[in-house]
Structure 1
Amino acid sequence: EVTQGPFSDFSGTVKEIYPEKGKVKVEVSLFGRPTSVELDYTQLKGF
Protein backbone atom coordinates (compact mmCIF):
# COMPACT_ATOMS: atom_id res chain seq x y z
CA GLU A 1 0.00 0.00 0.00
CA VAL A 2 1.29 3.44 -0.93
CA THR A 3 1.28 5.81 2.06
CA GLN A 4 2.69 9.07 0.63
CA GLY A 5 2.70 11.09 -2.55
CA PRO A 6 0.22 11.29 -5.43
CA PHE A 7 -0.58 7.56 -5.22
CA SER A 8 -1.35 7.64 -1.49
CA ASP A 9 -3.93 4.99 -0.47
CA PHE A 10 -3.40 3.00 -3.68
CA SER A 11 -2.62 -0.70 -3.40
CA GLY A 12 -0.34 -2.35 -5.89
CA THR A 13 2.05 -5.15 -6.71
CA VAL A 14 5.82 -4.81 -6.36
CA LYS A 15 7.35 -5.69 -9.73
CA GLU A 16 11.02 -4.75 -9.22
CA ILE A 17 13.25 -3.64 -6.35
CA TYR A 18 16.17 -1.24 -6.84
CA PRO A 19 18.12 -1.45 -3.54
CA GLU A 20 20.96 0.73 -4.85
CA LYS A 21 18.48 3.60 -5.36
CA GLY A 22 16.16 2.82 -2.44
CA LYS A 23 13.25 2.53 -4.85
CA VAL A 24 10.73 -0.02 -6.04
CA LYS A 25 8.63 -0.36 -9.17
CA VAL A 26 4.99 -0.89 -8.22
CA GLU A 27 2.07 -1.64 -10.53
CA VAL A 28 -1.11 0.20 -9.50
CA SER A 29 -4.51 0.44 -11.15
CA LEU A 30 -5.03 3.95 -12.54
CA PHE A 31 -8.33 4.64 -14.31
CA GLY A 32 -8.83 0.88 -14.56
CA ARG A 33 -5.50 0.25 -16.26
CA PRO A 34 -2.33 -1.25 -14.76
CA THR A 35 0.32 1.46 -14.47
CA SER A 36 3.92 1.06 -13.29
CA VAL A 37 5.28 3.74 -10.98
CA GLU A 38 8.68 4.06 -9.29
CA LEU A 39 8.46 4.93 -5.60
CA ASP A 40 10.83 5.40 -2.66
CA TYR A 41 10.82 2.75 0.06
CA THR A 42 9.53 5.44 2.46
CA GLN A 43 6.33 5.81 0.43
CA LEU A 44 5.26 2.19 1.02
CA LYS A 45 3.63 0.58 4.03
CA GLY A 46 5.55 -2.34 5.49
CA PHE A 47 8.59 -2.10 3.24
Structure 2
Amino acid sequence: GPFINFEGVVDDVKVEKGKLRVIVSIFGRPTPVELDFIQVVQS
Protein backbone atom coordinates (compact mmCIF):
# COMPACT_ATOMS: atom_id res chain seq x y z
CA GLY A 1 0.00 0.00 0.00
CA PRO A 2 0.97 3.65 0.07
CA PHE A 3 2.69 3.36 3.48
CA ILE A 4 4.85 0.29 2.72
CA ASN A 5 8.19 1.99 3.51
CA PHE A 6 6.95 4.09 6.42
CA GLU A 7 7.74 3.46 10.07
CA GLY A 8 5.38 4.56 12.79
CA VAL A 9 4.27 4.23 16.38
CA VAL A 10 1.07 2.44 17.36
CA ASP A 11 -1.22 4.96 19.03
CA ASP A 12 -4.44 2.95 19.43
CA VAL A 13 -5.61 -0.64 18.95
CA LYS A 14 -9.20 -1.50 18.03
CA VAL A 15 -9.24 -5.26 18.51
CA GLU A 16 -12.97 -5.58 17.76
CA LYS A 17 -12.44 -3.98 14.33
CA GLY A 18 -9.01 -5.50 13.65
CA LYS A 19 -7.50 -2.04 13.20
CA LEU A 20 -4.62 0.04 14.51
CA ARG A 21 -4.06 3.78 14.57
CA VAL A 22 -0.42 4.41 13.73
CA ILE A 23 1.35 7.77 13.85
CA VAL A 24 3.62 8.16 10.81
CA SER A 25 5.67 11.13 9.65
CA ILE A 26 4.32 12.52 6.38
CA PHE A 27 6.11 15.60 5.02
CA GLY A 28 7.80 15.93 8.41
CA ARG A 29 4.55 16.06 10.37
CA PRO A 30 3.11 13.35 12.64
CA THR A 31 -0.03 12.02 10.97
CA PRO A 32 -2.47 9.40 12.31
CA VAL A 33 -3.26 6.59 9.87
CA GLU A 34 -5.78 3.79 10.47
CA LEU A 35 -4.60 0.40 9.18
CA ASP A 36 -5.81 -3.20 9.32
CA PHE A 37 -3.78 -5.63 11.44
CA ILE A 38 -2.65 -7.45 8.28
CA GLN A 39 -1.20 -4.22 6.82
CA VAL A 40 1.33 -3.79 9.64
CA VAL A 41 4.55 -5.63 10.50
CA GLN A 42 6.54 -5.19 13.69
CA SER A 43 10.10 -3.98 13.21
Select the structure that is richer in strand. Answer: 2
**Segments ≥4 residues shifted beyond 2 Å:** none
Instruction: Compare relative contact order (CA 8 Å, sep 6+) and give the higher one, 1 or 2.
Output: 1
**TM-score of the superposition, structure 2-length normalised?**
0.92
User: Number of aligned pairs?
Assistant: 42
Deviation, structure 1 residue 9: 1.1
Contiguous gaps of at least 5 residues in structure 1? none
SS of residue paired to 2:3: coil
**TM-score of the superposition, structure 1-length normalised?**
0.85
Matches within 5 A, 1:5-24: 5-24=1-20
% identical aligned pairs: 55
